[in-house]
Amino acid sequence: MKIEILFEDNHIIIVNKPNNVLIHNSYYARNIKEETLLDLLYVQLGFNFYPVHRLDRKTSGVLMLAKQKEHVSVFQELFTFNQIQKTYLGIVRGFVDLSVSITSPVKNPDSKVYKDAETLCEPIYTKLLDIPVTPYENSRYSLVKLTPSTGRMHQLRIHMNKISHPIVGDYKYGDRFHNRMFENEFGCENLFLHAYSLHFPQPLTNENIDIKASLPYDWGKVFKIFDWDFN
């Protein structure tokens, strides 16, 4: 599997992470034996890289990695001081008609303590299908833009479930009936959550970086069926 490189300078590399690829081995994914993103990048480029932030295994999209371990903290400070903006796209169950700020706390998996979390959800498109999904005679979906101002584990997936618009393809927090419909009707099994863009000032070069990651193949299939156009 070849990893798409979106940006590179002397200090960082930014890639478009595929669905279902771990960034690195961890306790939470100890039973998964597949090659990690770091493994794939080493084979592809011949260097070790150091993740600056994280994406869930099932989430695709923009990910920044440092070339030197000592620079990781430099770039992580961008997140600490809110100097970096991440935006995601999601396909969710139901119609999202209005922008909403979701502020439900999210439980830390290690400490089991709930921490403050905030996500802005903004509607882009909606679609009504004449395909029955239990318990309804049809099915409704929305394309949304998600902007988190905090970075809790599974935050976006938990928050969208909290407002009854779970992300399609989410087998932990989602709706199994809609997930199954996407599998059976469209042949799509992946999580429809994509880290679409990253915008930040590069602290070591003073360059303003604005990166967008193209959507995975199955998004194109769904956009064509739903008659959605997104650039």
9 is catalytic: no
Q: What CA–CA distance (Å, rounded) separates 52 from 75?
A: 7
Q: Is residue 195 within 8 Å of residue 216, measured between CB atoms?
A: no
Cα–Cα distance between 153 and 110 in angstroms, integer?
10
Query: What is the identity of the amino acid at 4?
Result: E
Cα 75 from Cα 191, distance rounded (Å): 28
Give alpha helix (H) positions in the chain. 37-45, 72-80, 155-162, 176-181, 217-226
Identified catalytic residue from 9, 56, 130, 170: 56
For the purposes of burial, counting CB atoms within 10 Å of the CB of 111, is it exposed (0-12), middle (13-18) or buried (19 or more)?
A: exposed
* Greatest pairwise CA separation for the chain in angstroms: 56
Enumerate residues 6+ apart whose C-beta is below 8 A from 155: 106, 117, 119, 148
Active-site amino acid positions: 56
